[in-house]
Structure 1
């Protein structure tokens, strides 16, 4: 039996898989030098419902409005993640996806590895900064292609919104790339 075609097929398959994974990171780099998270995170305080008030546009959230993320601290040491949005507008169909995250050791709970697709693909989730009272949070990852601006309320005050945007700018993010997320009125 000639093993050469099998080996060649495996190499080509691996190359295609790597190309597919690399293509998942599309879009402009809005921060070429993403800083490490600013401070530790108390997971029990971070847990709960967050409203997305802005993001860098990405393919997996295309046409999403009313976007929320709910985090739960699980008994097994992982963090449960439930992301939801309304497709096409605030009255659109509700779409959701569940995942799980594990804390990166030594990160003060500020870096997580999140998976929505089983045990084989984990993406970075960095809590870059947050309010002292956990009223807002800025989330990104190392490539600078992703950014999420989160609030505990769907309509934060103008002062809180300015605080979040100013802090994102201080972290090096290009705010011209931020797409505001529509949220229902309180």
Structure 2
């Protein structure tokens, strides 16, 4: 088994374990998403610029990014990639689907509450392989997005570019505090050529 495949498998297993944990942890308060997202505008490449550290991304040392592509019926293919400490590319492929009250209509998902799985498709019938992916902040021009989940154990700041301005960070941190997150726990991502 190649090391890239092993790392991708570890990433997938970690995401499954994290999603099971996130679903079993009761929320402390209601987490609010943005009203809706336009799927066509949301798809494409997003760079992870910050996150709450988690065990399933430990092998990622830099250049973490996600590529989303809209599929039939409002599902979204998800390809996560990063560079490990030894310089190898690690990749995990998954799928996102609307969850809870979320509905897809006219190319929009309202509210943007999704579930993501990185486990193989044949395991998709198991509820614990799906992790919550809620868009809780979105810059109007889709330059950055903040993704969380109701337990507030996991958090990702995504952007179209690898850096955000000080003004953007101030807006993100203020909104995170309103949502019950601790911005001090965010770790900035390294991006290298």
Shorter-chain TM-score range: 0.7 to 0.9
Which structure has the bigger radius of gyration? 1
Moved more, 170-179 or 79-88: 170-179
Instruction: Extract structure 1 runs of 4+ deviating beyond 4 A.
Output: 20-24
In 2, Cα distance between equivalents of 1:22 and 1:61: 10
Corresponding residue for 1:178? 186
Pairwise CA distance, 1:24: 5.6
Corresponding residue for 1:77? 74
Higher helix share: 2
Report if the CA contact (8 A) 1:137-1:149 is conserved.
yes
Corresponding residue for 1:116? 118
Moved more, 98-107 or 126-135: 98-107
Report if the CA contact (8 A) 1:34-1:143 is conserved.
no
In 2, Cα distance between equivalents of 1:23 and 1:97: 15
Corresponding residue for 2:12? none
The one of 142, 146, 152 equivalent to 1:144 is: 152
In 2, Cα distance between equivalents of 1:23 and 1:113: 9
- Report the TM-score, using the length of structure 2 for normalisation: 0.74
In 2, Cα distance between equivalents of 1:33 and 1:39: 18
The count of aligned residue pairs is 161
1:26-60 CA-partner distances (Å, limit 9, x unpaired): 8xx9x843512132111111111111111111111
> Cα 1:133–1:21, aligned 2, differ >3 Å: closer, same or farther?
closer
In 2, Cα distance between equivalents of 1:23 and 1:138: 17
Pairwise CA distance, 1:176: 1.8
Report if the CA contact (8 A) 1:138-1:149 is conserved.
yes
- Report the TM-score, using the length of structure 1 for normalisation: 0.77
1:56-113 CA-partner distances (Å, limit 9, x unpaired): 111110142211011110134310001111112xx72110100011112632050111
